[in-house]
Amino acid sequence: MITGVGSIASVAAGKISPCQQDDDSDSQAGKPTGSSIADLPEEIWHHIHSLVPIRDAARAACTSHAFLHSWRCRPNLILNRHTLIPKKHGFEVNFSDIIDHILRKHSGIGVKILDIQFSAGFGTYFFDRWLKNIVKATTEELTVIPPWTLDYSFPCSVLSSTRAGNSIRYLKLGFCAFNPTTELGPLRNLAILSLHHVNVTEDELECFLSRCHALEQLNVKDCVRIICLKLPRALQKLSSLTASECRWLRVIESKAANLSSLHLDGNIKLSLAGNMQMKRLSIVQNLYFARFEHPSIVPNLETLHIISSSVFGSTPPMLPTKFLHLKHLVIDIPSGDSLPLSYDYLHLVSFLDASPSLETLILNVALKFMKQKSVFEDSYGLRQMPEDRHFCLKNVKMTGFNSAKSLVELTCYILENAVSLECLTLDTIDCVRCSENPRECHASNSVLIREAHRALKAITCYIKDKVPATVKFIVISQCHAVAVGEDDDGRHT
């Protein structure tokens, strides 16, 4: 087995210093000799060389003529600080010179992956020349992220039908202008498009997308010129859309019939034009806006993840609209100023009532500090909600569980009404734990630790005795996982 670049070079070098040989000299001069692998076909050696990290591959090419040709035809060019520069060199290395040297030596033939990402160090003419010389009809993946300070416009001509237009499958652009025109031909194989901080208008993007019939995944981040994102009918294969940090984005109009996964942030109006395939939705949005807008817009949702941007303290109105097919619900509740003192966790029962098929509920509370009234500070007893059986709910997990009275009431409601419940997990720390080893605690926040202790006390006083014998009941404290009950394996008896 060949285990390292040194092994490859030593086998391939023979007794000749290949870097001193003319490029057109007999290829036998640098072929492996005296080895059981000496007769491997040239394409195998090229493949081995292509799998070696680019810095080591360059060294191998300088010590072996056998690898010199494969270096000049290397199919995967991943050019960034991580792949090119050892950490010990810091920031004093001139990236443009290194990349320019690599790409000038490359034949420009057979490049399948070109990934250029840098934060500083060169002008626009470098990028244009590199793309012109390297991006050809064989290129399948292209990533171009120039320095954010560089006013760079991506040359759409490299995506023409005579260049990479028919071969490109993955395109990622960042910190540049992207201005495709109607003259650009179809991109027949483009499956994934990612745009990060790209200066593109909504009309330009719509025009470009109309030529991407094979597109399956679209990621748009921090593209400030897009107000209305339009997904044309031509995107029949599009299944996933992510739109984040687009501060002016207000509307998404989709005619993509098979869009099934949507990840958004902000209160964005959705127009899905008869799309009945949407199965997964992840969205940063006002909690009750999501509750009352989406059942009618995406009626066939099966998985919903809501990262609540804000919540209201008032009681939400009850509406007849339901998530009839929703099976998995994840709700992230904010902490701090975005969570009002009057917020009532018991309002989340409206999601349970609206989801008759729900099987899994995960509630994540970001517990920086608790503002709601503790169950130990309220002299009144626990409130009782009208009985409403939930026949499908099997698994419930709450992270950041605390002693807030309404959160204790919500937990009791679930125990009393989820007749098929199999497992209830209460984690007194929020999503970020103090150690990978649950029996070690490095937590230093005394407020969190005190509240975790109060949460454990609330569990003992108000919840433990309500857990049916058939339900596996797991409590995770700030230091270790413990099962509330008599068994050590987490079963409540």
Domain residue ranges in the chain: 1-74, 308-433+441-493
Q: In this structure, are strands 240-244 and 251-254 parallel, antiparallel, or unpaired? A: unpaired
Q: For the segment 17-62, what is each residue's pLDDT rounded down to a tens digit?
A: 333 334 444 444 444 444 555 567 777 777 777 788 887 777 777 7
Average pLDDT, the chain: 81
Q: Token pair for residue 157? A: 């001509």
Residue 41, CA distances (Å) to 36, 162, 241, 356 in order: 13, 32, 44, 62
Share of the chain above pLDDT 90, in %: 43
Nearest to 352 by CA among 415, 439, 265: 415
For residue 199, pLDDT over 90 is answered with: yes
Q: Token pair for residue 9? A: 């070079």
Q: Is 357 exposed, middle or buried (0-12, 13-18, 19+ CB in 10 A)?
A: middle
**How many Cβ atoms are within 10 Å of 387's Cβ, its own excluded?**
8
Q: Distance from CA of residue 427 to its chain's centroid?
A: 25
| Run of H or E including 205 | helix 202-209
Q: For the segment 142-174, what is each residue's pLDDT rounded down to a tens digit?
A: 999 998 877 899 999 999 988 899 999 999 999
Instruction: Give pTM, 2 decimals.
Output: 0.76
The reported pLDDT for the residue numbered 433 is 57
Q: For the segment 68-120, what is each residue's pLDDT rounded down to a tens digit?
A: 777 788 889 998 888 887 665 555 567 777 788 888 888 888 899 999 988 76
